[in-house]
Chain A
Amino acid sequence: MSAEFTLVGTSLRERTTEATRDERLQASLARAIRHFARGREAAFATLDDGDALRRAARRMRHEILADLPNVLERFADRFRANGGHVHWAVDATDANAYIAEVARRIGARTVVKGKSMATEETGLNRALEEAGCTVVETDLGEWIIQLAQQTPSHIIAPAVHLDRYQVRDILETQAEPGRKLDTEPERLAAFAREQLRSRFLAADLGVSGCNVAVAETGSIVLVENEGNGRLCTTVPRVHIAVMGMERIVATWDQLDLLINLLARAGTGQHLSTYTNIITGARRVDEADGPDEVHVVILDNGRSDVLGTELHEILNCIRCGACLNVCPVYRQVGGHAYGWVYSGPVGAVLTPLLARREAEAAELANASTLCGACMDACPVSIPIQDLLLSLRRRKAADAGAAERAGWRAWAAAWSRPLTYRASIKAAALGRPLSRHAAMAPGLRGWAQGRTPPTPAERSFMQRWKAGEL
């Protein structure tokens, strides 16, 4: 059974309002975010010049994006030369169909997955289930939310919205009904290990994501902390990695720079516990590894972003640092964003990658433009500028009433006299004319806040009267 995202059928305001009323969620978020954010600061403090590294990483990501088609071709050539299979997937349906076909050909019944946001984006689990496979998520957080039929609420910590009591309840009822567990995190993890080990051994197909591909050797790099990624990619006889087409560097030197930043920014580690580098299938002289390796290079709307004013979002390395510093994410968590990617990066990616859904464009408003995300971003993506670009796109599609409202506002506020009159009228709740376009908004504002009243005499009146 696959979990569903809620982008369709609900509004951003409904989703975020519901989240702000969930005190348990707020407590879980505050705890986790404080942990991650402090970890990031401490980890960056160990670098001689973290800001210089971030600038270098940004330049490097720009160079790669500027040459992306060539870098991808080099990667694909090397990957094939290593004995792997390459599939270029135009969209989610294409990616899922290819993977389902591999599963059918090899007669796969059990599929184990390492954590992958790209396959959340494509809805792969449902496609594989429809093809008759049992799909088991093996990242601890991802497994928990799969059991609970939920979706990830954080890019690197999918179950961050749950506390350990909720986790215990999910495992007791869904993983092994009747089993009694306590809430010690170590013992919950041990239970998960016991449950998942047999799934790894039974699996015919392992599916993973890809943190970074390295073109010069045709390698897939996967970072993780639990070892499940290594099992997914080595135990089953076939491994398929799914990579967003921008998740690539040209050289190992570039990889070195990114790896130096990725875990520091995400979890506050200098390096994640496991860094798996997969270069081809098992060779004749090797004991471990799959017989077949595939990579699915997923476009799904990304190439439409290349070369536009929004292309810098493709520099993202999915570390999650922007979520951990975002004051909006802190209040509402990931599910309120409605789709795979949440937080500031999700507010940019969702309108771009899920653009067929009208509601997706609304995500550009899920930010105060405070800029904390850019300060935390290891590749310095100016997320607030990208959100402004998206708002301009959205404004271009706005309805006649909204456009007329702003036009009237501009007409009034570009003349000193009408500018003063419109605010007074709006605040008194008796709109003088359509100039008072803000009046309905002011009423909404006032429901949870004591509304301010305009001063009896404005500053300019006092100035002009020569009182100052």
Chain B
Amino acid sequence: MSLFVTCVVDLFEPDVGVASVRLLRAGGCQVSCPTGQTCCGQPAWNSGFHEDAATVARTSLDALDADGGDAVVVPAGSCSTMIKVFWPELFELVGDHDAADRARRLGERTYELSSFLATRPLSLRPLGRRVAYHHSCHMLRELHVRDEPERLLAAAGCDQVPWGAGDRCCGFGGMFSFKLPEVAEAMADDKLSSLAEAEPPADLVVGSDGSCLLHLRARAEHEGHPVETRHLAEVLAEALA
């Protein structure tokens, strides 16, 4: 299978990529990572600049297509959504029907990491951590992936604390957090402060989108209440027997 590592993981969170490779191999996959890939184009797409988004997305589409893997795995809910849901629309909008067709075929064999891992035999040891899981928006509401990460965390012996705000947007929203940073920060504060409701409290916030976690962690640090956040892949890799 081909790993689409995503720009956030590649440049800011390479350990998430390393963990993903370990997990996929433990699940019996032969992992390749085409080096021509860059980004899925989401920043421009969400800003309305679909032509520029297509220019970038085509680079990654070409790289993944040429790699010819039977599956494409993405350790990020929003980037997998971009590929599966928005790439066909994006390429149709710019009149590139060939790329749209290729994107549709690629989308059918593209998986967000946890939904792919949930189908593989993984042997995990119990970590015994109390985890609050952040459901990221695209993964939850576009891909409808809710149970898989929770099942995997349970398999890794993590207790999940009930988190009423667990499926509420963290405020990152890509360019949103650049355009309206004060609102993005207020949303993060609101979400983080609701963590205190759990008793006993979580000792770790886990999510499947590095960008959400980066935003939450950056805000928590700035406010002087650091919170440990980790990508699901890192938690599961730690639990690999």
Binding site for B on A (CB under 8 A): 12-13, 16-17, 20, 26, 327-328, 330-332, 364-372, 374-375, 388, 390-396, 398, 403, 406-407, 409-411, 413-416, 419-420, 423-424, 438, 441-442, 444-445, 447-455, 457-460, 462-464, 468
Contacts of B47 in A (CB 8 A): 391, 395, 406
Q: Does B200 contact A (CB under 8 A)?
A: no
Contact B183 A20 (CB under 8 A): yes
| Bound form: Cα–Cα A449–B50 in Å | 29
| Bound form: Cα–Cα A415–B21 in Å | 24
Contact B50 A455 (CB under 8 A): no
Contact A369 B180 (CB under 8 A): no
User: What residue in chain B is nearest A18 (Cβ atoms)?
Assistant: B182
Contact B38 A458 (CB under 8 A): no
Stretch at the interface among B51-59, B100-108, B122-130, B148-156: B51-59
A-B contact pairs, 20 of them (CB 8 A): A327-B169, A327-B187, A328-B183, A331-B186, A368-B171, A370-B137, A370-B141, A388-B48, A392-B93, A394-B48, A406-B44, A406-B47, A410-B51, A413-B7, A423-B7, A444-B181, A445-B178, A450-B218, A460-B35, A468-B18
Contact A332 B17 (CB under 8 A): no
Q: Does B37 contact A (CB under 8 A)?
A: yes
Q: How far is the CB of B146 from chain A (nearest CB, A)?
A: 12
Which of A374, A395, A463 has the most chain B CB within a 10 Å cutoff?
A463
User: A371-B137, A449-B222 known; A460 and B33 CB under 8 Å?
Assistant: yes
User: What residue in chain A is nearest B51 (Cβ atoms)?
Assistant: A410
User: What residue in chain A is nearest B53 (Cβ atoms)?
Assistant: A410
Instruction: Select B214's contact among A410, A419, A420, A452, beta carbons within 8 Å.
Output: A452
| Bound form: Cα–Cα A25–B47 in Å | 29
Instruction: Select B182's contact among A16, A330, A370, A403, beta carbons within 8 Å.
Output: A16
Q: Which of B9-24 contact A (CB under 8 A)?
A: 9-14, 17-18, 21
Q: Does B28 contact A (CB under 8 A)?
A: no
Instruction: Select A393's contact among B48, B141, B180, beta carbons within 8 Å.
Output: B48
Q: How far is the CB of B21 from chain A (nearest CB, A)?
A: 5
User: A368-B172, A370-B173, A449-B219 known; A331 and B5 CB under 8 Å?
Assistant: no
Contact A365 B181 (CB under 8 A): no
Q: How far is the CB of A276 from chain B (nearest CB, A)?
A: 36
User: What residue in chain B is nearest A365 (Cβ atoms)?
Assistant: B179
Q: How far is the CB of B218 from chain A (nearest CB, A)?
A: 4
| Bound form: Cα–Cα A457–B44 in Å | 26
Q: Known pairs A20-B185, A444-B181, A468-B18; list 19 more (Cβ under 8 Å).
A: A327-B171, A331-B187, A365-B179, A368-B169, A368-B171, A368-B174, A369-B173, A375-B141, A388-B48, A414-B58, A414-B59, A415-B38, A416-B59, A448-B185, A450-B221, A451-B218, A455-B13, A458-B14, A462-B14
Q: How far is the CB of B76 from chain A (nearest CB, A)?
A: 12
| Bound form: Cα–Cα A391–B45 in Å | 9
User: What residue in chain A is nearest B59 (Cβ atoms)?
Assistant: A414
User: A16-B183, A444-B181, A448-B219 known; A415 and B214 CB under 8 Å?
Assistant: no
Contact A330 B56 (CB under 8 A): no
Contact B178 A441 (CB under 8 A): yes
Contact A368 B52 (CB under 8 A): no
| Bound form: Cα–Cα A388–B38 in Å | 23
Contact B46 A369 (CB under 8 A): yes
| Bound form: Cα–Cα A462–B140 in Å | 31
Contacts of A415 in B (CB 8 A): 38, 59
Q: Mark B81-107 against chain A: 1 for CB-CB distance below 8 A, else 0.
A: 000000000000100000000000000
Instruction: Select B11's contact among A331, A370, A449, A454, beta carbons within 8 Å.
Output: A454
Q: Mark B174-218 against chain A: 1 for CB-CB distance below 8 A, else 0.
A: 111111111111110010000000000000000000000011001
User: What residue in chain A is nearest B54 (Cβ atoms)?
Assistant: A410
Q: How far is the CB of B30 from chain A (nearest CB, A)?
A: 13
Instruction: Select A414's contact among B12, B38, B180, B221, beta carbons within 8 Å.
Output: B38
Instruction: Select A444's contact among B44, B45, B178, B221, beta carbons within 8 Å.
Output: B178
Contact B36 A416 (CB under 8 A): yes
Contact A419 B180 (CB under 8 A): no
Contact B182 A17 (CB under 8 A): yes
